[in-house]
Amino acid sequence: MSSPRADREADRTDEITAEQQYVSMLYAKLDELRRDTTKRLTETLRQTGGTPQARTERDISTTMYTDKLTQLSAVEHGLCFGRLDLDSGEVFHVGRLGLFDEEDEYEPLLIDWRAPAARPFYLATAAARDGVRRRRHLRTRWREVVDFEDEVLDLDAAEQGSDLGLAGEATLLAALDARRTGQMGDIVATIQAEQDQIIRAGMNGVLVVQGGPGTGKTAVALHRAAYLLYTFREQLTKRGVLVVGPNSTFLRYIGQVLPSLGETGVLLSTVGGLFPGITATAAEPARAAEIKGWASMVDVLTAAVRDRQQAPKDHIEVQFDREPLRIQRRDVTHARTRARRSRKPHNLARRVFLQEMFSALTTQVADRLGRDLLDRRDLDEINVELRGDPAVVEALDGLWPELTPQEVLDDLLSSPERLTTAARKHLDPGEREELLREPGAEWTPADVPLLDELAELLGVDDAKEREERARQAREELAYAQGVLHIMEQDEEIADEERLRVSDVLDAELLAERHQTRSDLTAAERAAEDRTWTFGHVIVDEAQELSEMAWRVLMRRCPSRSMTLVGDIAQTGAPGGARSWHEVLGPYVADRWKLAELTVNYRTPAEIMTVAADVLDAMDTELEAPTSVRSSGHRPWLRHVAEERLATELPGVVADELHAVGDGRLAVLLPPERLAELGGKVAEEVPGTAVGTRPDGLESPAVLLTVEQAKGLEFDSVLVVDPAGVVEESERGLNDLYVALTRATQRLGVVHTGEVPDVLGALS
Ligand SMILES: Nc1ncnc2c1ncn2[C@@H]1O[C@H](COP(=O)(O)OP(=O)(O)OP(=O)(O)O)[C@@H](O)[C@H]1O
């Protein structure tokens, strides 16, 4: 007779076998779709020549099949991760994309995690079952089902459930305990209810997601992008989604999440990357960057542009028609006033200025020739001659030149006189001094919002090009309507339900694609166009942005369809946010929604206890999030005498690296310590990278400043010189809080002097 335990084991094995059969069937379906799409793509690519219309059709098909193929490749890992058994007897499998049975009236075989039908997988609880009897989490390795976890949603379970109301607790904890790879992964299989509410919130308006460290803000932000693209595909494919992160290391860290969800139409950028044609990566003193972020820089830049609209002290004399011609101060100030009153940007108002000036100069020439003898046509001729006269044009150009943002900013920051004139009322002499630099200096990230602001103040006189573009656009649209019509009549494509042309394209989009390069996504086009406005903007680590940076983002999103995620308690930038009200007030008053995340999925309870003391010491109402698990590793503290730090640190790092096994270690130091000790540690401890080298995060150990580690996580973290971190800036406590909360398993603190009071729990 078999034992009850053996029976349970046998049942479990049977269940796994049954799930395996289903999952294998799904993979077979996926393979079939891939083969089919590859075949169509190859056929399309093989065709050459033909009429322009045939080429357009091919371009569209190529883009469509390539996108499809990218999506089908992305879902290979963990294709199906869940199953719902409903009271009605129905059973659904949930996964990374939707699969249907064409031979059985398109019965769903797999529900896309973003589809409404999948929602109970994330939301149903024993207390609010939403028709769900059982939720099953499948664990797969490659294509093999290795285990499952069942949650039977009945009232008994409601009473036993954990305080945090976690769904699929064992699966979640297994995911959280996994070794980190240096690249963020997706969380589709284990999204929790409070996160799901945010991911699926409506797209309109500004949603702020405030949450402590490790609460999944970044994960939620990225899954929200994928959800919005799925749900509002048509709208967002045209305008694109922008995800803004604090620096390029962070963008590399999160870079794989959206592709793994099959989404490629998202532009990931820092604010510094949003000015096409400019690479703004040079370093500068923190104080200079801070000042550049102040809202008062708008007035400084406005004054700098006005300063380029000159009037002569008395007059300028030029030769015209072999006679002297006087450009009089009186005429210039009059023309300048008219031009400024036009309220147009500088380069567009220039037309008004020139018109006024040429008309004044025409009068002067006419007076000289005897005005009574001249008629309208003569006057027009004089005007035209003046406009074509190089000496006159050059003199007027000097008074109201056509300018680029780069010229104005470079001139402003490298000229004490210009800076004093523009900033006298807004910055004190010490602050102005901070901004001064060599002419032609490389651009820094904090320059970008200034360049963007200047681009607005200056404008581009592109009336002729715009007219031409509008004409072309009209033609392209008419043409595209024709192409679509013909394509829809093409039986082969119209029959292909999954890829019916009109499902994914409309004439406007088609025309846009045809006008530009047909293989560019909206995100790619947006990256090349400063004036592009996005369908939705997501900002991560939003607390770090300066006032000037917010102006750039608001310009990129006039619809204010935005998701801002961050943590006021982690603000490190001196010009960063102290409250969300302060940040958003100027743009949407109090018309924004707040959502909060309260559970910490990263930092184990042992470490969070230490970090919570630091949070308490800050002047904030915010509460530390609750850790979802313990790691069993007690954080440790070690004293090393200042003079021995350089010799002993490599040994401490090597020991910790050994302890963390095949995991990742981060050593976080104040910036000057990094410069002083980084090289030595890297030399003595193999596998150690310093700073934000592109492959740094994938090395077994990496030495970083706290600022560089913002938003990242590691299996183990070593904080060196916590007192130095605290003293570094007025937001030093925030920085220490960030540093302590980067670890998923282990934390060590190495101090040289006194231990800061806030770390009392460690000693
Ligand atoms: N529902 C979940 N299932 C599995 N892992 C999760 C879940 N939510 C968050 N995580 C994991 O927790 C870690 C922290 O998430 P994330 O980096 O998004 O937090 P954060 O709030 O942005 O943190 P910080 O503010 O400290 O940068 C990540 O490894 C993430 O994958």
**Nearest atom in ligand 1 to 570's CA:** 25
Q: Which two tokens stand for residue 460?
A: 């581009």
Q: 94 with 120: CB under 8 angstroms?
A: no
Say what the ipTM of the complex is. 0.99
- Residue 516 included in any domain: no
218 is in an annotated binding site: yes
Task: Select from 22, 162, 138 the least CA-distant residue to 78.
Answer: 138
Mean pLDDT computed over 436-464: 91
Q: How far apart are CA 225 and CA 280, in angstroms?
A: 26
Q: What are phi and psi of 698, to 5 degrees?
A: -90, -10
- Residue 358 included in any domain: yes
Mutate to test the pocket of ligand 1, among 177, 215, 224 (most ligand atoms within 8 A of CB): 215
Q: 715 with 745: CB under 8 angstroms?
A: yes
Q: Which two tokens stand for residue 713?
A: 């996580």
- Residue 508 included in any domain: no
Q: 210 with 594: CB under 8 angstroms?
A: yes
Please state whether beta strands 688-690 and 665-669 pair in parallel, antiparallel, or not at all (unpaired): unpaired
pTM of the model: 0.85
Q: Which two tokens stand for residue 401?
A: 């030149």
Contacts of 404 (CB under 8 A, 6+ apart): 458
Q: 224 with 216: CB under 8 angstroms?
A: no
Indicate the residue type of 753: G
Q: Which two tokens stand for residue 190?
A: 């284990």
| Residue where one domain finishes, among candidates 573, 597, 621 | 597
213 is in an annotated binding site: yes
Tens digits of per-residue pLDDT, 328-358?
999 999 999 999 999 999 999 999 999 999 9
The residue whose two tokens read 């490790």 is: 214
Task: Give the count of domains, the chain.
Answer: 4
- Residue 522 included in any domain: no
Distance 226 CA to ligand 1 centre (A): 16
| Residue where one domain finishes, among candidates 597, 615, 643 | 597
Mean pLDDT computed over 691-711: 84
Q: Same structural domain for residues 549 and 659?
A: no
Strongest mean pLDDT among 165-179, 368-382, 595-609, 675-689: 595-609
**Nearest atom in ligand 1 to 195's CA:** 1
Mean pLDDT computed over 586-591: 89
Q: Same structural domain for residues 10 and 154?
A: yes
For residue 651, give the CATH number of its domain: 3.40.50.300
- Residue 470 included in any domain: no
Q: Same structural domain for residues 362 and 253?
A: no
What pLDDT does residue 51 have?
Answer: 74
Q: 200 with 228: CB under 8 angstroms?
A: no
Average pLDDT, the chain: 87
- Residue 498 included in any domain: no
Distance 140 CA to ligand 1 centre (A): 21
What pLDDT does residue 266 have?
Answer: 87
Supply the DSSP symbol for 144.
E
Q: 580 with 622: CB under 8 angstroms?
A: no
215 is in an annotated binding site: yes
Contacts of 723 (CB under 8 A, 6+ apart): 751, 752, 753, 754, 755, 756
Q: Same structural domain for residues 164 and 303?
A: no
Mean pLDDT computed over 289-309: 97
Is 659's pLDDT higher than 60? yes
- Residue 683 included in any domain: yes
Please state whether beta strands 743-751 and 714-720 pair in parallel, antiparallel, or not at all (unpaired): parallel
The residue whose two tokens read 């949650």 is: 151
Q: Is 296 left (phi over 0), alpha (psi -120 to 50) or beta?
A: alpha
Q: What do you get for the CA distance between the two ends of the chain, in Å?
A: 58
Mean pLDDT computed over 550-576: 91
Q: How many residues does the chain have?
A: 763
- Residue 708 included in any domain: yes
Distance 214 CA to ligand 1 centre (A): 5
Distance 572 CA to ligand 1 centre (A): 20
687 is in an annotated binding site: no
DSSP, collapsed to helix, strand or coil, labels residue 95 as strand
Q: Which two tokens stand for residue 348?
A: 């567009």
Q: Same structural domain for residues 89 and 216?
A: no
Q: Kindly tell me the number of DSSP H helices and DSSP E strands found in the chain.
A: 33, 22
| Residue where one domain finishes, among candidates 405, 437, 469 | 437
Q: How far apart are CA 526 and CA 409, in angstroms?
A: 24
216 is in an annotated binding site: yes
Strand (E) or helix (H) holding 564 = strand 562-566
217 is in an annotated binding site: yes
**Nearest atom in ligand 1 to 219's CA:** 18
Q: Same structural domain for residues 613 and 585?
A: no
Q: How far apart are CA 591 and CA 98, in angstroms?
A: 36
Distance 388 CA to ligand 1 centre (A): 64
What pLDDT does residue 30 have?
Answer: 94
Distance 647 CA to ligand 1 centre (A): 36
What pLDDT does residue 162 have?
Answer: 53
Distance 217 CA to ligand 1 centre (A): 6
Q: Which two tokens stand for residue 402?
A: 């056509």
Residues flanking ligand 1, CB < 6 Å: 172, 175-176, 185, 187, 190-192, 195, 211, 213-219, 567, 570, 601-602, 711, 713, 741
pLDDT band at 409 (very low <50, low <70, confident <90, very high): very high
Q: Same structural domain for residues 290 and 269?
A: no
Q: Which two tokens stand for residue 97?
A: 């994309």
Q: Same structural domain for residues 158 and 30?
A: yes
Tens digits of per-residue pLDDT, 470-496?
777 777 666 666 655 555 554 444 444
Strand (E) or helix (H) holding 218 = helix 217-231
Q: Same structural domain for residues 255 and 130?
A: no
Residue with the smallest CA separation from ligand 1 atom 24 is 213
Domain around 299: 286-437
Distance 704 CA to ligand 1 centre (A): 20
Mutate to test the pocket of ligand 1, among 149, 176, 184, 631 (most ligand atoms within 8 A of CB): 176
